[in-house]
Amino acid sequence: MIYRQLESHKIEEMLIISPSIAPIFQDHDSYDLERLLDIYVGVPVGVAGQTGLSQLCHLAELGCIERFCFSGKLHRDRSPELEFVMRNCGRQAIVGLIPFLVDANLSVSTLSPNHLEFTPLTLEHVTKAYDLCDEVIFQDIMAYGSRDCFHIDQISPFVLWPNRTILNGGIGADQAQSFMNLGVAALYLDNLAFHSDRNC
């Protein structure tokens, strides 16, 4: 329903993320990218998660995806998938995804390359993402389904280029305006935020 009504809701871009890449949703299956071809929308669509080289080749050939988002592959020195998108779609099609969580001690961690454990988020990792990608998403993965719970104070030191930064995870109306005033490129409002009354 949301996919069909993107334009009427004045959404400027949609990122579809395979739920299986997030630890809190590991029981879910990855999405079927072929279904994206069944519905045409004028809003640019990006994908993240479970996109191997064969899928990327297929999607690039069909032209139904405009942005490709990478997370674990950012850790590699040379990623065939990243190199493919750079060569065939250009750097503007590459988006980095940095999923993070903030623990009780306000320490910031991110997923390891295999997405099976967490490791401290470092400026080195963030700098590499900005170097490789056109824009970088900081995704507060434990804030899904919440409103105004994005940990902006903890993640701000890692936002090196606000105009190339996208924030996602638990962002409600109250935080949205103040975040845009910081000069970030965009906010991605996660789908669960529209369907839950959970608070932090």
Percent of the chain surpassing pLDDT 90: 32
Cβ pair 163, 185 in contact under 8 A:
yes
Q: Which of 172, 116, 114 is nearest to 140 (CA)?
A: 172
- Residue 184 scores a pLDDT above 90: yes
**Mean pLDDT over all residues of the chain?**
79
Q: Which of 148, 138, 154, 157 is nearest to 105 (CA)?
A: 154
- Out of 12-16, 29-33, 136-140, the most confident range is 136-140
Choice among 67-81, 121-135, 150-164 with the minimum mean pLDDT: 67-81
Question: pLDDT band at 160, cuts 50/70/90?
Answer: very high
| Structure confidence at residue 106 (pLDDT) | 94
Q: Is 81 left (phi over 0), alpha (psi -120 to 50) or beta?
A: alpha
Q: Would you list the domain boundaries of the chain? A: 14-194
Choice among 16-30, 39-53, 62-76, 164-178 with the minimum mean pLDDT: 16-30
Question: pLDDT band at 22, cuts 50/70/90?
Answer: very low
In this structure, which topology does domain 14-194 adopt according to CATH? TIM Barrel (3.20.20)
| Structure confidence at residue 45 (pLDDT) | 72
Distance separating alpha carbons of residues 49 and 20, to the nearest angstrom: 8
**Tens digits of residue pLDDT in 99-144:** 999 999 999 999 887 777 889 999 998 999 999 999 999 999 888 7
Q: Which of 138, 140, 153, 150 is nearest to 199 (CA)?
A: 150
Question: pLDDT band at 2, cuts 50/70/90?
Answer: low
| Structure confidence at residue 64 (pLDDT) | 72
Distance separating alpha carbons of residues 154 and 148, to the nearest angstrom: 14
